[in-house]
Amino acid sequence: MSETAPLLDVDDVGVSYGRARVLSGVSLTVRPGEVVGVVGETGSGKTTLVRAVVGLVSPDAGRITFDGTDVTALGGRPLRGFRRTGAVQLVFQDPLRSLDPDLTVAAIVAEGLAIAGGLTRAEQAERVDEALTRVGLDPSLGARRPGQISGGQRQRVALARAIAVRPKLLLCDEPVSALDSSSRNRVLLLLDRLRRELGVAIVMISHDLTSLAGVVDRVAVLFGGRLVEQGPVDEVFGDPRHPYTALLVASAPSIGERPLGRPAASLRPARDREPWPHADGCRYAPLCPFATAECAVEPRREATGDGRTVACHHAGTWSDHVEQTTGALT
């Protein structure tokens, strides 16, 4: 898979809203059929990243290439044309808000097909039935409205709408966080099946590591609009090298079959630590229990030789520095 050209190539992208820098130097690739997780808390920039990929937000630095098209260079009609192809599909967290309550399920699933054009009504109806069946729904459900079906079914309808246009990439923004645990597992299994059966690549945005653990091939961790660690999921979750990733992993006990050997508490800043005195440098430093004077300079992303990159001056070796941190911040 590593030999395949990327389907999506996000290269050193930066986005600002007014004076607020919400993404900075973000690079990420997704290959055909690959599932990549993007993890981060609210405000980490993960939704902005998704919006930039579909051209809803214009980066002020870097480039986003999808299937050979420079998305960042598109505007006006060419951008509308790119969206109309449906090659990139968004699936949102709350399907009740993203599905028109007045339309039937069949009409909702047909929306993208109508926009893309080129199909007769009969062909559209066939594709709708096929998409509903693929996501495990009986096509007879097509006559109902979103308010008449369950939350799990609504998320399946959102997925059916997305796959009906035969996309190459699904961008799923917190696709299961509004669901109860059994619906969540079923939707995660469904995403895995869609990837295998359709060869569609998937980017799954989530604040919840547990929902990503069994599904994604690679994972990228965002903090403060920067990518702090990315790589194969087993390496990143099994042996995190960035202190923030380590805190996330230690705080998600259900992926603790790969024990970290550190309780989450030891990865949070001690209450009596002196405040971080620098305005620049590593964004995580004000929270990092392992910050040293060196961290006043922003760390660059470095490859660690096992397929991942980490942006931390003390990647994976913080324990060696922890004794030195007291009194070493100024």
| Residue ranges binding ligand SF4 (CB under 6 A) | 242-243, 282, 284-285, 288, 290-291, 295, 299, 312-314, 318
Q: How far is the CB of 114 from ligand SF4 (least distance, A)?
A: 48
Residue placing its CB nearer to ligand SF4 in the complex, 117 or 327: 327
Residue placing its CB nearer to ligand SF4 in the complex, 136 or 316: 316
Q: How far is the CB of 10 from ligand SF4 (least distance, A)?
A: 22
Q: Measured between alpha carbons, how far is 146 from 198 in angstroms, rounded to an integer?
A: 25
CB atoms within 10 A of CB 105: 27
Q: Measured between alpha carbons, how far is 310 from 221 in angstroms, rounded to an integer?
A: 10
Residue placing its CB nearer to ligand SF4 in the complex, 131 or 228: 228
Residue placing its CB nearer to ligand SF4 in the complex, 219 or 287: 287
Residue placing its CB nearer to ligand SF4 in the complex, 185 or 292: 292
Residue placing its CB nearer to ligand SF4 in the complex, 58 or 317: 317
Contacts of 309 by beta carbon, 8 Å cutoff, 6+ apart: 227, 229, 230, 231, 301, 302, 303
Q: Determine how β-strand 88-91 pairs with β-strand 201-206.
A: unpaired
Closest by alpha carbon to 208, among 94, 42, 3, 18? 42
Q: Measured between alpha carbons, how far is 167 from 199 in angstroms, rounded to an integer?
A: 10
Q: How far is the CB of 7 from ligand SF4 (least distance, A)?
A: 31
Q: How far is the CB of 243 from ligand SF4 (least distance, A)?
A: 5
Specify whether the CB–CB gap between 105 and 139 falls below 8 A: no
Residue placing its CB nearer to ligand SF4 in the complex, 31 or 242: 242
Q: How far is the CB of 38 from ligand SF4 (least distance, A)?
A: 19
Q: How far is the CB of 221 from ligand SF4 (least distance, A)?
A: 11
**Alpha-carbon distances of 321 from 18, 204, 208, 311, 313, rounded to whole Å:** 37, 34, 29, 16, 10
Q: How far is the CB of 223 from ligand SF4 (least distance, A)?
A: 9
Q: Measured between alpha carbons, how far is 144 from 154 in angstroms, rounded to an integer?
A: 11
For the chain, counts of helices (H) and of strands (E): 11, 12
Q: 311 by DSSP, 3-state: which?
A: coil
